[in-house]
Every structure is written in structure tokens, then in C-alpha cells.
Amino acid sequence: MRIVVCVKQVPGTSDAKIDPNTKRIIREGIKSIMNPFDLYAIEAAVQLRERFGGEVIALSMGPERASAVIREAMAIGADRGALLSDRAFGGSDTWATSYALSRAIDTIDALSKSSGGVDLVICGKQAVDGDTAQVGPGIAAHLGYSQAAYVAAVRGVKQDSITVQRMNEDGYDVCEVAFPAVITVVKGLNQPRVPTLRGVLAARAADVPIWKPADIGAALDKIGLDASPTRVVKTAPPEPRGGETVRIAGTPAESAARLVELLKARELI
Ligand SMILES: Cc1cc2nc3c(=O)[nH]c(=O)nc-3n(C[C@H](O)[C@H](O)[C@H](O)COP(=O)(O)OP(=O)(O)OC[C@H]3O[C@@H](n4cnc5c(N)ncnc54)[C@H](O)[C@@H]3O)c2cc1C
């Protein structure tokens, strides 16, 4: 099985500030980490390779320092990786990001066609900075791959498909998804392993190729800020909730009765 895992470098703090002019996160001076959901994606890919053979390729798009997340993925068990990095990719929204990543996946697929090409792409369910959860499904749409989002368990793998349990609002669905496929994964799918010292040292010494738009056949009018159909025009923290806090004392029965009384008084029940 050949599996591509998309990993994103994100600010390692919830206090990241937004530049009021560009509406982009100010990343300077902030420690960066791998998007936490992507750790589950790598672990899932490495477990599948351990069971069925093949290779795991970590892929990211970002500034050159984002090669750190590729190395981290390799320390955990990815066999190799590549980083899309060029000013032309800068400012891409989810549509342009998923287009660029899909071009890279298509390139990996074409280069490995003689040994079966790409079977599966795994993404985290969402990145903790942009938080849109659109990039995985966007990659599937650009490539015409089948997809399942919010995957909480892998139920089984056949020659030409993977069966997954995906979360929905009322419970879960079990879906058999034909290869090539994209899945996005949620926390709790597995327990991401801690990298070994040997893995860390090998990853540090590994070559992480940097791919430019021409290397992946990406059209310049489909990447970057100008090609992005979405503009973030405003970002704001949620308004603090108003209202008073009422403490209810007494036995559980008395408290419950008082709570019902208060809710009725406010016409909430
Ligand atoms: C505060 C804020 C709000 C934003 N709002 C929007 C918006 O409403 N619409 C919009 O189009 N863009 C928006 N953006 C831009 C958006 O963050 C970028 O397009 C980004 O490159 C991908 O979107 P995401 O972070 O939401 O990823 P998600 O779709 O949430 O990420 C899901 C998964 O996709 C993969 N992935 C995502 N980005 C990369 C990458 N660069 N490299 C490798 N894998 C990746 C990872 O596996 C990740 O776990 C916003 C950005 C910020 C900072």
C-alpha cells in the first residue's frame, strides 16, 4: 500500500494573533508544532504499512521551516517526505491548498505507477489554526478520489478498498471506500507512538526535497492568494456570554426542582 499523509505546521499556542491587514496568522516568534490531528493520521498510515507493506510519504505545504513536520513524521515512521514551498503558494485558501497538495499527490502517483501508485491519502480532520476541515475533502475532489471524513476506526482493508467507521452527528457510519481514497481522521483513532531516538536521528539526516510549482505541474493561476476564491475579511473572538451565574444549593432533589423552576421562569423549557 502506498499512503500519502498530509501534515500541516501550525502555531503551538492558542494565543496566536491575526495580522489586522493581511488577516493571516502572525507566525514570527511563535513556536510551531505539527497539527495535533495529523499525528493520528501518521500513526494510522504507519500501522497500515506494518500490516500490509508498502510505504508512507509525508507531504506538507508551507515555508521552508515546515520541513520540521516532515522530519517529525519520518521520526514516527514515514519512509520519506516532500515539502511544497515557494512564494507562489503563499496565501492559498483551502481550495488552492488542496489543489497544490493534489498536484503533488498526482506527481507521487505518476512516479510510482509501476509499483501500484497511490492507494490512500490520510489527513487530520482539521487544522487547529484555519479550522475549516476542508482540505482533505478538497484533495479528494481535485483528484476524483473517493473519500470518508471524520474517520474514528479502520474496520478492514481489501485489495481495492478500505472499510472505515466515520463519525456523524447521531452516531457513526461504516463505509467501504474504494481506492484510491482520501480519509480524514479524528482524535482517538489510535494512540500515536513516541518517536525513537534512532528515528529522530535518521529523520534529522534525511533529505527532504522541496517542490516548486513546476515540479508538480501546478498552474500558477490556481495557487496563492490571488488564485484563492476565499478571502478572510474579518476574524474576531466570540462575544463573551452575558448573563448571571446562579448557585443552587440544597439536596439533589431540591436543586433539581429549583433548576426546573428557574428554567421555566426564563421560558427555556
Ligand atoms: C483564522 C483563519 C481562518 C481561515 N479561514 C479560512 C476560510 O474560511 N476559508 C478558506 O478557504 N481558508 C481559510 N483560511 C486559510 C486556511 O487556513 C488555509 O487555506 C490552509 O492552508 C488550510 O486550511 P485549514 O488550516 O483550515 O486546514 P483544514 O482543512 O482544517 O486541515 C485538514 C487537514 O488537511 C491537511 N492540511 C491542511 N493544510 C495543509 C498544508 N498546508 N500542508 C499539508 N497538509 C495540510 C492536514 O492533514 C490537516 O489536518 C483561514 C486561515 C486562518 C488562519
The distance between the two most distant Cα atoms of the chain, rounded to a whole number of Å, is 73
Domain membership flag for residue 230: no
Domain that holds residue 42: 2-222
Lowest average pLDDT, out of 41-45, 85-89, 102-106, 193-197, goes to: 193-197
The residues near 202 (Cβ < 8 Å, ≥ 6 apart) are 74, 75
Instruction: Give the pLDDT of residue 14.
Output: 66
Average pLDDT over residues 127-139: 95
Residue with CA at minimum distance from ligand 1 atom 12: 93
Q: From atom 3 of ligand 1, which residue's Cα is the shortest distance away?
A: 130
How far, in Å, from the CA of 197 to the mean position of ligand 1?
31
Three-state secondary structure readout of 170-195: CEEEEEEEECCEEEEECCCCCCCCCC
- Does the structure show a pLDDT above 80 at 69? yes
Domain-located, residue 90: yes
Q: Is residue 176 part of a domain?
A: yes
Nearest to 73 by CA among 56, 49, 92, 96: 56
**257 domain-assigned:** no
Residue 140 within any structural domain of the chain = yes
Look up cell 495535533; give the residue: 36
pLDDT at 244: 79
84 pairs with which residues across the strands?
61, 211
Q: Is residue 203 part of a domain?
A: yes
Q: Sorting pLDDT into bands at 50, 70 and 90, what band is 241?
A: confident
Query: What CATH number does the domain containing 93 carry?
Result: 3.40.50.620
Pocket perturbation via mutation, ligand 1, pick of 5, 8, 61 by most ligand atoms within 8 A of CB: 8
Mean per-residue pLDDT of the chain: 93
Which percentage of the chain shows pLDDT scores above 90?
83
Cβ contacts of residue 23 below 8 Å, gap of 6+? 231, 232, 233, 234, 235
Q: How many domains does the chain have?
A: 1
Question: Is there an atom of ligand 1 within 6 Å of 126 CB?
Answer: yes
How much is the pLDDT for 268?
Answer: 86
pLDDT at 13 over 90: no
